[in-house]
Amino acid sequence: MLLQRRDTYYGESAMTAAGLEHVVQPRLQHYSNTGDVILQLCKNEDRTVAGQVAMLLWVLWNNRNNSLWNDSKEPGRSLGIKAMQLWQEWNSVQQQQQSTTQQQHIQS
């Protein structure tokens, strides 16, 4: 499982740096595969937490690919911080677009 491969992809330290270990770790202990963990997160957490976990998974996956194809890895702590920065940027743009759309509907 991507999040459990601590030595190769830095999942544990990335989760900690992202502040998501309290959300992910209990599920890793109860479910046997990544799909079940992700499904439970999406079913039981709000959009923000689910989105943050999704961004963390994406960043970890990119780090894995960079390790395999480019022999380049980022430290886990950096990955967690990067995931949360990317999430904040993405979420900010989504909120801005939603606000713009609502204003356009009001003016119509």
pLDDT digits over 31-52, tens only? 988 899 999 999 999 999 999 9
Question: pTM value?
Answer: 0.82
Residues of the chain with pLDDT under 70: 1-9, 108
Q: What is the pLDDT of residue 8?
A: 47
Q: What is the pLDDT of residue 10?
A: 72
Amino acid at 42: C
Average pLDDT value for the chain = 87
Rounded to whole angstroms, the Cα distance separating 55 from 52 reads 5
What count of Cα atoms within 13 Å lies in the side-chain half-sphere of residue 44? 10
Cα→Cα distances 42→6, 39, 61, Å? 23, 5, 19
Q: What is the pLDDT of residue 108?
A: 66
